[in-house]
Amino acid sequence: MIQVQNLTYSYPGTEKQVLKDISFEIKEGEIFGFLGPSGAGKSTTQKVLNGLLKGFGGSVHINGTDLSKMKRSFYEKIGVAFEFPNLYLKLTALENLQLFASFFKSKTRDPDELLKMVQLEGDRDTRVEAFSKGMKMRLSFIRSLLNQPELLFLDEPTAGLDPGNARIMKDIILDLKQQGVTIFLTTHHMDDAGELCNRLAFMVEGTLPVIDSTQELRLKHGKKTVRLEYMENGMTLSDEFPIDQLAFNPTFNEILENQEILTIHTQEASLEDIFIKVTGQQLKQ
Amino acid sequence: MNWSAIPYDYKLLKGDPMLILSLLVPFILWALMHLLFPFLEVLVMKQWNVDISPYYRQTGIFFLMLIPMMMGMVYGFILLDERDGGIITAISVTPTGKFGYLKLRMGIPLFLSFVFIILFLFLLGLTGTLNILQLIVISLLISSQSLILLLLLGAFADNKVIGMAISKGFGILLMGPLLGFALPAPYNWSGAYSPLFWASRSLLSDSQDTFWLYASITFLFHLFLVWILFRKFTARSD
């Protein structure tokens, strides 16, 4: 769906390259995530891809068409939710959605249905200036779904949300993926990235040192062992066993049969561990 | 043009008393001219034995020039509000886009200025010897002054404080017709730097030829300014 080749970008009037020769591909129907610390270039990449930033180097093709030759109708099937909610504060939630719906020629979704999806139906007639940041984020998110996009850009979609609302958003994102929507997501939140993304790219200072499937990353960088915690003679003990041939490991089986098992965990690496290991940088900056 | 977005402008204006007040300016100006000028005429004649009635048209035309300025400022400040809130960026990623947005933002002040100016000309008897076609043309030309201020704010004002400074500085253009009215020839040509100078000359023309000559200069002047500012605005990354 998206092919990016040797993309470079510098903001006008600056020498410093924010994006340094990055290449990647996003397949149709997948959630592709950019994981990296703040200022790494994640949002800049999104802005280049959704046409907000012009004058980039390299090439970007979306559905086979060169981005620089894209017509305005391209946006009929694109949805963009920004990192900071940009809404009309003096208008109500419903009016914000109705006004933005008028910017599309294609049929748009019922605003009430969208408001219900993120539990804002009770606030539909409240001016947005009275909304909390989390409510604005949710409204901004559903605004990006008005035109039933085939390609969705989400910039830090769960930033500023409490765990309950973050869960609602993640469920909607996973549901959109089920419906075949291609999603490009940027985050510095490793749990979101791990839960939502099919494939991940690690971004560090405008480069992409790693692009791989989430599963592969965990397998490649994790220890292939199982950690067992158990009680023996009133004491809590733990042991690690290789996953390979685990069923035939006599010690493992002996503990399973004779001791009280407290926990069993495979020792996959967390995405944060992998990020630090591969890039030498911390995620939360 | 996205007409369905227009009703929302009213809601955006509703919350801002300063902007609403600015929209009332044409009525205030009309009241000043209609009620105050005749009163002043009598007063000045009584006190100083000076007849100011020959300046009625000039005064009216000067007041008329304030209308597009107010409209440009009102809608320019809505634009700055929208820029502050990141709204222009959000519209940029819809099919309407920045260009469509700007057409909407430009269309309303142009239309409102035009209606007010035409009304102003007729209600205050400022039409002179101009025919209806000439009145429509000159009203449109003066209305387009609103676009220049709107685009000036859009192109250069990063926030409302700078916006206010630009709006005040814009008053320099209003000096153009004043210099034209007040100074004797050839010094009155010192107002020629302002497109409004040419518009006022056009309005005060007695002959067909001079009307169209001055109207053409006003048109080219405005076209040049709108083109430059439009490019500057669309080149911004918001």
pLDDT in tens, A124-148: 999 999 999 889 999 999 999 999 9
| Nearest-by-Cβ selection for B90 from A82, A89, A91 | A82
Show the tokens assigned to A45. 């990449």
CA–CA separation, A18 and A207 (whole Å): 9
User: What six digits make up the tokens of B23?
Assistant: 């929209």
CA distance A231 to A261: 7
pLDDT band at A120 (very low <50, low <70, confident <90, very high): very high
Dump the DSSP string for B170-201: THHHHHHHHHHHHSPTTGGGGGGGSHHHHHHH
Interface of A with B in 109-168 (CB under 8 A): 143, 147
**CA distance linking residue A222 with residue A206, whole number of Å:** 26
Neighbours of B179 (CB within 10 A): 17
Are B8 and A91 an interchain contact pair (Cβ–Cβ within 8 Å)?
A: yes
In sequence order, the 6+-apart residues with CB closer than 8 A to the CB of A170 are A158, A192, A195, A196
Give the residue from chain B lying closest to A50, CA to CA.
Answer: B93
Q: Which chain A residues have a beta carbon less than 8 Å from that of B94?
A: 75, 100, 103-104, 147
Report the pLDDT value the prediction gives residue A7, as an integer from 0 to 100: 93
What would the mean pLDDT of B130-144 be, rounded to a whole number? 92
Give the separation between CA A284 and CA A38, rounded to whole angstroms.
8
pLDDT grade, residue B216 (50/70/90)?
very high
Q: Domain A2-218 is classified in which CATH homologous superfamily? A: P-loop containing nucleotide triphosphate hydrolases (3.40.50.300)
Closest of B192, B27, B3 to residue B96, by C-alpha: B3
Distance between CA atoms of residues A86 and A78, nearest Å:
17
Quick check: helix, strand or coil at residue A22?
strand
d(CA A131, CA A84): 14
Tokens of A240: 């690690």
C-alpha closest to that of B12 among B24, B20, B3, B1: B20
CA-to-CA distance for B104 and B87, rounded, in angstroms? Answer: 14
Q: Map out the domains of chain A as residue ranges.
A: 2-218, 223-267
Q: Taking 50 as the threshold, does the pLDDT of residue A285 lie above it?
A: no
Q: How confident is the model at residue A234 (pLDDT cuts 50, 70, 90)?
A: confident
What is the average per-residue pLDDT within A113-130?
A: 93
Res B227: pLDDT: 93
**Tell me: the pLDDT tens digits for B93-122?**
999 988 888 888 888 889 989 999 999 888
pLDDT (0 to 100) of residue B4: 67
Which residues are within 8 A (CB) of A248 and not within 5 positions of it... i.e. 6 or more apart? none
Residue type, B206: D
Strands A182-187, A31-35: parallel, antiparallel or unpaired by DSSP? Answer: parallel
Q: Which of A98-107, A154-163, B19-28, B161-170 is predicted with the least confidence, judged by mean pLDDT? A: B19-28
Across the interface, of A91, A99, A105, the residue whose CB is closest to B95 is A105
pLDDT at B23 over 50: yes
> Which residue, A160, A87, A163, A166, is CA-closest to A127?
A87
By residue count, chain B amounts to 238
Tracing tokens 């008005």 back to the chain, one arrives at: A146
Give the number of other CB atoms < 10 A from CB of residue B218: 26
ipTM above 0.90, yes or no: no
Cα atoms in the Cβ-side hemisphere of radius 13 Å centred on A175? 9
Instruction: Report how far residue B144's alpha carbon sits from residue B139's, in angstroms, rounded to the nearest whole number.
Output: 9
